[in-house]
Amino acid sequence: MQKRDPRWRRIDPAALREVREAKGVSARQLSERIGMSNSYISQVERGSYLPPHERMRQIARELDTTIRSITTVDA
């Protein structure tokens, strides 16, 4: 079975929010850690903006989690 390219993954807004809240990190704190605005995180968590792969990796690193825990695979 061939592995899918991880760049085919997209952010899962509900999973991102769940992980962020479980880690006790506010949206504002996360936005400051990744150098983006609070509204950027809000848009991502609402699903109105899909961040690029590198930004998803940065978010995962800042939340001390895996990229798989905050993303889903496009069908």
Which tens digit of pLDDT belongs to each residue from 7-48?
578 899 999 999 999 999 999 999 999 999 999 999 999 999
Domain of 39, CATH number, reads: 1.10.260.40
Integer angstrom CA distances of residue 30 from 2, 36, 75: 34, 8, 29
Model pLDDT, residue 4: 52
Place of tokens 């850690």: 33
pTM equals: 0.84
Has residue 6 got a pLDDT over 70? no
Has residue 56 got a pLDDT over 70? yes
Range of the domain at 46: 12-67
Kindly state whether residue 56 falls inside one of the protein's structural domains. yes
Kindly state whether residue 47 falls inside one of the protein's structural domains. yes
Model pLDDT, residue 68: 93
The secondary structure of residue 4, as a DSSP letter, is P
DSSP symbols for 40-60 = HHHHHHHTS----HHHHHHHH
How many structural domains comprise the chain? 1
Bridge partners of 73?
9
